[in-house]
Structure 1
């Protein structure tokens, strides 16, 4: 084997070693993030048992949304509740750059990705919102926001959808994935159980 061939082989091996090291570091980071999420989930489940009033419920839902954002490395999110008297979705808990503007904001229950999730009672991942017909761009346009990717899961009550939880825009600017959607669906289930228990007087 010539010296040039040997040098080329060494460079290839070094490059492969670097790539393997980077992949290993990425996987370790994902494992650590998942462990942190599971600890947060356990704490939320414990907190859920202690909720006894509507005031405590609001604080709990805020903590739950924060847990979702942290687990998914995202900057913005909201928890919307269905107002069946007006057939609207109401932004009950909001975190992110336009949280003060969105809190209490209402949209028709049939509107946008959140509306689709509320109607179909299914979680949804949208990697390119602006090319998706279900995306409601008016909020972005009204408040100067830019939605690049989002996931949304329904809050399933005993016999109806009582709300949705939505997370937008990873810090890394990567799209959300199915693991993110599964984690959000678990949190939506916890939120729905607590809301129904408090509103039902249980």
Structure 2
């Protein structure tokens, strides 16, 4: 199973990615987790990524693409993977298409979690308080929502036109949303 999990910041992608990937026995590949690990490790990439993340902007494609290419080529991703937070731009869609072609495979589905923007802001502010996340101020959260709408939302149209889009209501209890994802994937086949 090769999936993309899309949705605005705070829609629950990270939570759902872990559960769905485990269900299918594939790794959940999260660019956010990779960026945070690099930031915590104070790597050169991490420091560069931190500047963009602190401003609520996306890390440039060339850094992200190289990182994802390396990750999907690891042995544990051979039977499949779930991408959380990638692709985020139309250019990254093209890059992912190239990666998949090189691997001789294709995507099975693109799952889009839909959620109300004000609900997401509340979620992220609460998470910032609980987890002490410095990148989750209300101003930065709202900017990340704008960036998502400008750059990532057009991907929904691309994957819909390819017949790969599965839209799921992302608001509700974790188990409820997970079941919605599995139900939607079953009807998509």
Q: Same fold (TM over 0.5)?
A: no
Structure with greater helix share of residues: 2
Structure with greater strand share of residues: 1
TM-score (norm 2): 0.26
For the pair shown, the structure with the greater C-alpha radius of gyration is 1
TM-score (norm 1): 0.25
Structure with larger RCO (C-alpha < 8 A, sep 6+): 2
